[in-house]
A and B are shown apart, each in its own frame.
Chain A
Amino acid sequence: EVQLVESGGGLVQPGGSLRLSCAASGFTFSSFWMSWVRQAPGKGLECVANLKEDGSQKYYVESVKGRFTISRDNAKNSLFLQISSLRAEDTAVYYCARLARGSAEVYWGQGTQVTVSS
C-alpha cells in the first residue's frame, strides 16, 4: 500500500522558517518525480514545487522562488520542503504528492498545516 506521511507543520511567526518532511512507502520512491502542493483555507490547489527522481531538476511556482527549497533523500524514501521568510499568505495545508501527468497512479498525503501568524 502506498503511503505518504507529512510532518513538520505548525505555527510560525512571519519571517520564520520550517522544514516539512514526507515519508514515502509502498513504491519505488527513487523512480518518481515528487511534488509539494498547498491549499490555503477555503482556496484552491497550488503546486509549489516539483522535483525530479534524482533531484537534478527542480521547479517552483513564482510566488515561492528564493524562499522555498525542495529536496529528497532517496536512501531514506523522504521528501522535504524547506520554507523560509514565511508570510501570512503561506498559511495553508501542505500536501506531499506523487503527481503524474501520464498513466501512473497519483497519490497524496493527508497534509500538514502551516500557519503563519504573530
Chain B
Amino acid sequence: DVVMTQSPLSLPVTLGQPASISCRSSQSLVHSDGNTYLVWFQQRPGQSPRRLIYKVSNRDSGVPDRFSGSGSGTDFTLKISRVEAEDVGVYYCMQGTHWPWTFGQGTKVEIK
C-alpha cells in the first residue's frame, strides 16, 4: 500500500499568520490517465471530515480561497494564507491513484 507521510504532525499557528503542511507519498501519484489524485481533508473537532482540495490544487465548492494546494509526483503542500479560528482541526492528505486509497497520519492545527 502507498504510504503517505505528513509533516509536521502538530502545527501551532498565530491567528492571521500563514500555515503550511507537507505530504509525501512513497510512490508517484501520477495516474495512468494523466491525473494526480491527491486530496486534502479537514476534520474539525467532533465532526466528520470535509474535503477541501482535490486533484492537488482544485478547491471544493464553499472552501475559502485562503486554502491552496500544490505539488506534483510525490511531494504536495497545503497552505493556509491567513489562519482563522475556524481552521482549527486535523488536516489529512489522501491519495486516490493507487488501490487501496490511503491517508496521511494527519496534522493538527491549533492556535497559539
Chain A residues with CB under 8 Å of chain B are 35, 44-50, 59-62, 95, 99-103, 105-106, 108-111
Contacts and interface: CB of A to CB of B under 8 A. Distances in A.
From DSSP, what is the main secondary structure of chain B's interface residues?
loop
A33 to B, nearest CB: 10
Interface of B: 1, 35, 37, 39, 41, 43, 48-51, 54-55, 58, 60-61, 90, 92, 94, 96-97, 99-106
Most buried by A among B39, B49, B102: B49
Contact of A99 (B101, B105, B106): B101
A58 B43 CA distance: 26
14 contacts: A44-B103, A44-B104, A44-B105, A45-B92, A47-B100, A48-B100, A50-B99, A59-B101, A95-B48, A99-B94, A101-B96, A101-B101, A105-B61, A109-B48
A35 B101 contact: yes
B48 A99 contact: no
Nearest to B102: A47
In this complex, the member of A47, A62, A101 whose beta carbon has the largest number of chain B beta carbons within 10 angstroms is A101
